[in-house]
């Protein structure tokens, strides 16, 4: 499975079980889609899978799902590095006029 066009972590965190099921449907993982609907697994839960959650998915899909979850979690980190620009606060430069104001 080529993990291209992985959704951003912030996007997946907001998914309800139906949205996550739709994503698996697009990937053609109908067995995972059924598990998500049956156990009401949302995006946040998918990104933080526990051992108990993992057991709810078909065993053959577990390695792929673990990798997918890791890639989605990494995706946000990678994106944030390039989109954040440090805010540099600029102050007007001091001029020599202050010395003149002091009686110079």
Q: Which of 13, 28, 14, 7 is nearest to 72 (CA)?
A: 7
What pLDDT is stored for residue 93 in this prediction? Answer: 61
Predicted TM-score (pTM) of the model is: 0.69
Alpha helices in 16-86 (DSSP H): 17-26, 30-39, 43-47, 51-54, 62-83
Percent above pLDDT 70 for the chain: 68
Confirm if 75 and 8 have CB atoms less than 8 A apart. Answer: yes
Domains and CATH numbers, the chain: 9-78 (1.10.150.50)
What pLDDT is stored for residue 103 in this prediction? Answer: 57
What pLDDT is stored for residue 2 in this prediction? Answer: 52
What pLDDT is stored for residue 1 in this prediction? Answer: 47
- Calpha distance 74→76 (Å, rounded): 6
């Amino acid at each position: 499975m080529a993990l291209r066009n992985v959704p951003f972590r912030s996007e997946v965190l907001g998914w309800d079980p139906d949205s996550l099921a739709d994503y698996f449907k697009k990937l053609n993982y109908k067995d995972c889609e059924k598990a998500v609907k049956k156990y009401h697994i949302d995006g946040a839960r998918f990104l933080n899978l526990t051992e108990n959650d993992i057991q709810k998915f078909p065993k053959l899909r577990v390695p792929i799902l673990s990798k997918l979850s890791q890639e989605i979690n990494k995706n946000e980190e990678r994106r944030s590095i390039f989109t954040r620009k440090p805010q540099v606060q600029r102050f007007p430069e001091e001029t020599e006029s202050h010395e003149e104001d002091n009686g110079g």
